Every structure is written in structure tokens, then in C-alpha cells.
């Protein structure tokens, strides 16, 4: 099958320590025949040594190196596997100290999230936080895998109780019931992971893998406004192209067509789209998600970091903004503090005007505070040294988020989602 026909699903996993995340991922890799022979032999050997009469898949994800991105060390390992129809990338986010940072990083690129719950423990504090972050980052689909069903004798009531508790959360969130799927599983024994389960005839729904295979992933955003941040100005030096000046980047949000009147931000100069190129082909129209090069009818000044938008769909351009902040650094965020705010490739200075409150991740509201500590989530108002051109996060993921950088150490301290 050609790769063009394949679906790609990015999945984030979340669970607290020992809920069985590694085992679940290992089991998925095993059942889809994605484990290397070496790895499988190591798992067999190790399981035998421990005297198990089953395979201990928690070893499958061991030894995956932590990755580094944008100067922040993140302990998120990306694991790849595929079926005939779909390529999967799973972000495995460990649940230790800087868990908010890991979860935000994992969820920010994912279209589905698997939240693991230990059937013996039910919904716990960490579950709230996981679900809250998925809700905040607008991850399209959530799968609640109630794991270790074997340890509660595959009892339907235990599963139903957890489902009921969780459904109360869904009602307070932005999710509809259709976006959240409950599946009772045993990652260790493989029940309802890639196949069914003869231990839980009371469950009529799909296995985890079947559910993932059937997911409709819709990457279009609620806002259909086109946003084209310029990554690169193309100025070929050869004589034949001496008047060619293209702007390369990725289109987000909405379509852009030849003839559209566009405004260049931050200069607010206007022009019209003359051509849209993808490699050496020309198109009349580009759809969101495409990486393209655009030329304009007029010789306007455009540099890296500028954004082209349709003139009738301008984003907000303001020096003040309110955002939900996830604090990912041990240095607390306080009223009056100054940061470098990075929005796309652009940086401005930002001062914390006020902290509206510390948000409760069980959706029960917020409380007053004068600082946000590591892993806290809060609502914060900022004043900027110059305007940025943004959309609310709920209308544009690409143009509605930012990071805060400490001026002294250059560490990322916070991730922000504009309200
Ligand atoms: N009985 C039973 N044990 C399970 C199941 N899933 C995982 N376990 C066990 O639970 C323990 C923890 O599993 P892991 O997969 O390492 O858990 P984790 O969530 O990845 O834990 P961290 O790596 O610490 O975050 C291991 O001993 C697993 O064998 C299950 O479905 N049933």
C-alpha cells in the first residue's frame, strides 16, 4: 500500500506511575508485530528469569532515549508502529516530577490521547490533570483505558463505577461524550488491546486497536482563517529568477488561493497572492497543512517570522493578553515578573500584570494566588513590549500558543494558551 493512503495518528499516553503504560505500549507493539527479534528475545528471557508464565511487556519501551527539543529537555520518547492501514506515533510521557511539561509536550502534537486508569484505584488526582490538559490543548479524542481488569476479576461493576466517575468530568469539560471512549483492558494479558477478550463478554465495544483504526482524524481547526507564518524568504541568485521572491512556510487554519488579498503582519502592508508553488508545481489554491512557497503581486517587504493572512480575516493585534499558563519550571511565575514571550519565531518582552487564579484540574473552578509553582496551571494577564498577532487557542492551535523564557537563564518556564 502506498504511504499516501495511510492514516497517521499521533497518540499521547498518560497514566500515573505503575498504571501500566509501558506494558500497554509493549503489548500494542507485540500484537502488531512491531517488536524487533532482539527485543522480543530479551522480553522472553527476562520474563522467564522472573518466573512469569506470561511476557512482561513493560520492558518493550526501555532504553528509548529522551529527546531534546527547542532547548527544553523533555523526557518524551516517540514510539513508532504501524498496521496495514495506519502509521502510529505514540508519545510516551513519564509521570514523574515535571509531569505537566511532559504531558503538555506529548499532547501538543497528538490527535488522540490514551488515559490509563488502574481498575483497582479508579479516577485519581492525576487522572483529573491528564484529562484537564487534554481538554485545554484540545486533543481531539480521548480513550480511557481501564487497565488491570484481571486484578479485579474482570468485574463489570468495577469498570462501570470508574466510567461513571469519569463521565461526570466529561460533562464539565469541552468534550462531547462521542469524543471520549472507555475500554476495559488488561495490558498484561492482552484483553481488548488488539483483539477481544473472552473474559469480558459484557463489553461489546471495539478493542483499543480497532477503535484507533476507525478514528476519523480531523486536523482542520475551528477557525477557518488562513495563517501563513513565513519560515524562509526564497531569493534564488540565478539571473533567470532575478525577480522571483517567494515566501516559504506551512499554511495553517484555512485555505489560501491565487488572487486573495493578503496583509503582511506586523507591517500591515497589503498585496495579492500571485502564485502558490509546491516544489516545481503551481496551484490555484492551498489547503491547511501544506508546505508551500507563495509569491505576491507587489514588491513588499516580508521577512522570516512575518505572517501572511487574508485581509478580511485579521488576527488580534494587541499588547495585552490573557492566557492559561502551565508552569513547567521550578522557578515560580509571580506578579510583576518579566519574561521573553516567544510566539512562533517571534520574541517580545512580557510582564506578568496579574495572576487571576490557580485553576483546579477537576474543573471545579479556581482560587486566588500570587504565584504559579511547578506543574501549576493558572490564568494570567500579560502586558507586552509590542503587539503580537494572535488568535485564541481554541480557534487556532498554531497561532494561539506561546512559551515564556527566563531572561537570565534562557530556560523555558511556562507554556501559554491564549484565551
Ligand atoms: N496484572 C496486571 N498487571 C499489569 C497490567 N498492566 C501492567 N501491569 C503490571 O504493572 C506494573 C507496572 O507496569 P508498567 O507498564 O511498568 O507501568 P508504567 O505505567 O509504565 O509505569 P512507569 O514506567 O513507572 O510510569 C508491572 O509490574 C506490570 O507487569 C495488567 O493489565 N494486569
DSSP 74: E
Is the C-beta atom of 18 inside 6 A of ligand 1? yes
Q: For the whole model, what pTM was predicted?
A: 0.86
Is the C-beta atom of 190 inside 6 A of ligand 1? no
Long-range contacts of 219-224 (CB under 8 A, 24+ apart): 219/111, 219/288, 219/289, 220/288, 221/252, 221/253, 221/288, 221/395, 221/396, 221/397, 222/394, 222/395, 223/253, 223/254, 223/391, 223/395, 223/396, 224/253, 224/254, 224/255
Show the cell assigned to 21.
503504560
Q: From 15, 22, 23, give the residue whose CB has the most ligand 1 atoms within 8 Å, as the site to mutate.
A: 23
Cβ atoms of residues 199 and 193 within 8 Å:
no
Q: From 22, 117, 118, give the residue whose CB has the most ligand 1 atoms within 8 Å, as the site to mutate.
A: 22
Is the C-beta atom of 58 inside 6 A of ligand 1? yes
What distance in angstroms lies between residue 57's CA and the mean position of ligand 1's atoms?
9
What distance in angstroms lies between residue 147's CA and the mean position of ligand 1's atoms?
9
Flag whether the ipTM exceeds 0.95.
Answer: yes
Alpha helices, DSSP H, located in 252-410? none
What distance in angstroms lies between residue 21's CA and the mean position of ligand 1's atoms?
6
pLDDT at 96 (0 to 100) = 59
Each of the 419 residues of the chain gets a pLDDT tens digit; together they read 344 567 889 999 888 878 888 899 999 999 999 888 888 888 888 889 888 888 888 777 765 443 334 434 446 678 889 999 999 999 877 655 567 777 787 788 889 999 999 999 999 988 998 999 999 999 999 999 999 999 999 999 999 999 999 999 999 999 999 999 999 999 999 999 999 999 999 999 999 999 999 998 876 655 579 999 999 998 876 655 566 789 999 998 889 999 999 999 999 999 999 999 998 889 999 998 899 999 999 999 999 989 999 999 999 999 999 999 999 999 999 999 999 999 988 899 999 999 999 999 999 999 999 999 998 999 999 999 999 999 999 888 889 999 999 999 999 999 999 99
Show the cell assigned to 278.
509546491
pLDDT at 246 (0 to 100) = 93
pLDDT at 66 (0 to 100) = 39
Task: Kindly report whether the peptide bond that precedes residue 266 is cis, defined as omega within 30 degrees of 0.
Answer: yes
Closest ligand 1 atom, residue 94 Cα: 25
Residue 314 makes CB contacts below 8 A (sequence gap 6+) with 263, 389
By alpha-carbon position, which residue is closest to atom 24 of ligand 1? Answer: 17
Residue whose cell numbers read 495579492: 272
What distance in angstroms lies between residue 113's CA and the mean position of ligand 1's atoms?
18
Closest ligand 1 atom, residue 25 Cα: 15
Is the C-beta atom of 192 inside 6 A of ligand 1? no
Domains and CATH numbers, the chain: 7-214 (3.40.50.300), 227-310 (2.40.30.10), 316-418 (2.40.30.10)
What distance in angstroms lies between residue 81's CA and the mean position of ligand 1's atoms?
20
Is the C-beta atom of 186 inside 6 A of ligand 1? yes
Amino acid at each position: 500500500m502506498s504511504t499516501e493512503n495511510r492514516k497517521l495518528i499521533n497518540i499521547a499516553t498518560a497514566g500515573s506511575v505503575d498504571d501500566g503504560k509501558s506494558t500497554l505500549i509493549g503489548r500494542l507493539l507485540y500484537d502488531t508485530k512491531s517488536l524487533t527479534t532482539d527485543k522480543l528475545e530479551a522480553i522472553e528471557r527476562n520474563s522467564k528469569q522472573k518466573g512469569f508464565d506470561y511476557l512482561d511487556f513493560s520492558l518493550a519501551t526501555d532504553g528509548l532515549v529522551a529527546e531534546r527539543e527547542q532547548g527544553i529537555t523533555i523526557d518524551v520518547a516517540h514510539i513508532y508502529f504501524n498496521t496495514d492501514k495506519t502509521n502510529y506515533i505514540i508519545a510516551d510521557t513519564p509521570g514523574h516530577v515535571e509531569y505537566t511539561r511532559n504531558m503538555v509536550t506529548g499532547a501538543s502534537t497528538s490527535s488522540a490521547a490514551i488515559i490509563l486508569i488502574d481498575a483497582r484505584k479508579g479516577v485519581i488526582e492525576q487522572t483529573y490533570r491528564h484529562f484537564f490538559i487534554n481538554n485545554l490543548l484540545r486533543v481531539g479524542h480521548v480513550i480511557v483505558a481501564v487497565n488491570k481488569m484481571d486484578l479485579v476479576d474482570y468485574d463489570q461493576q468495577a469498570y462501570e463505577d470508574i466510567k461513571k466517575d469519569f463521565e461526570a468530568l466529561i460533562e464539565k469539560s469541552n468534550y462531547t461524550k462521542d469524543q471520549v471512549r472507555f475500554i476495559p483492558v488488561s495490558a498484561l494479558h492482552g484483553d481488548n488491546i488488539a483483539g477481544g477478550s473472552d473474559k469480558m463478554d459484557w463489553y461489546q465495544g471495539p478493542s483499543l486497536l480497532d477503535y484507533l483504526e476507525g478514528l476519523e482524524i480531523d486536523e482542520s481547526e475551528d477557525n477557518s482563517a488562513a495563517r501563513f507564518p513565513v519560515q524562509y524568504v526564497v531569493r534564488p541568485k540565478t539571473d533567470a529568477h532575478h525577480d522571483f521572491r517567494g515566501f516559504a512556510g506551512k499554511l495553517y487554519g484555512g485555505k489560501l488561493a491565487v488572487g486573495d488579498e493578503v496583509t503582511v503582519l506586523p507591517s500591515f502592508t497589503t498585496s495579492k497572492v500571485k502564485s502558490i508553488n509546491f516544489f516545481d508545481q503551481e496551484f490555484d489554491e492551498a489547503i491547511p497543512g501544506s508546505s508551500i512557497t507563495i509569491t505576491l503581486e507587489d514588491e513588499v517587504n516580508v521577512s522570516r517570522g512575518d505572517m501572511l493572512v487574508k485581509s478580511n480575516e485579521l488576527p488580534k493585534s494587541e499588547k495585552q493578553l490573557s492566557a492559561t499558563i502551565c508552569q513547567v519550571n521550578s522557578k515560580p511565575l509571580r506578579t510583576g515578573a518579566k519574561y521573553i514571550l516567544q510566539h512562533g519565531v517571534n520574541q517580545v518582552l512580557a510582564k506578568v500584570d496579574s495572576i487571576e487564579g490557580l485553576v483546579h484540574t477537576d474543573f471545579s473552578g479556581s482560587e486566588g494566588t500570587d504565584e504559579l509553582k511547578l506543574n501549576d496551571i493558572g490564568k494570567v494577564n500579560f502586558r507586552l513590549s509590542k503587539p503580537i498577532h494572535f488568535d485564541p487557542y481554541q480557534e487556532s492551535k498554531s497561532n494561539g500558543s506561546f512559551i515564556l523564557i527566563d531572561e537570565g537563564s534562557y530556560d523555558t518556564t511556562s507554556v501559554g494558551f491564549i484565551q
